Amino acid sequence: MENEKFEIIRKDFFLLADRLSRVTKSLEEATKVLKEITTSPPFTGLKTKSTDIEDRPWTTYGKERRRAQKGEAGWLKNPLFFDDIDDPLLTKLAERIKESEDGVVEGGYRYTFSGKEEQFIARKPVEKEEE
């Protein structure tokens, strides 16, 4: 009877030690992630370098849709409308457009929403004096 009690206590001890080990590992992983998040530079604006917005997959208007070149009008999906787009820069742009009355002018373009449900972001080149 004593041996059975001892064996039960011994098994419980090892189960608790294993559980403590897993909790410690999870805590260490969470600490690493938290450290990465808190030491990353904050996202502060629309542009992190001059070509960031330009490098997105802008599509030209018209029958022959193709990737828009620098200086061309174009459109792309609005990340505030479509759930499958995870792009912090485009999301920031869409939020700025939403807050504005007539779009956002930056980097030689005017950015506005287009589509019946504002499901797209449109860009159109602007004159230098509009910037």
Rounded Cα distance between 85 and 102, Å, is 24
pLDDT at 43: 45
Rounded Cα distance between 36 and 44, Å, is 17
| Share of residues in the chain with pLDDT > 70 (%) | 82
Q: What is the pLDDT of residues 78-128, one digit of tens each?
A: 999 998 888 888 999 999 999 988 899 888 899 999 999 999 999 999 876
Q: Would the CA dihedral through 120, 114, 103, 96 be positive or negative?
A: negative
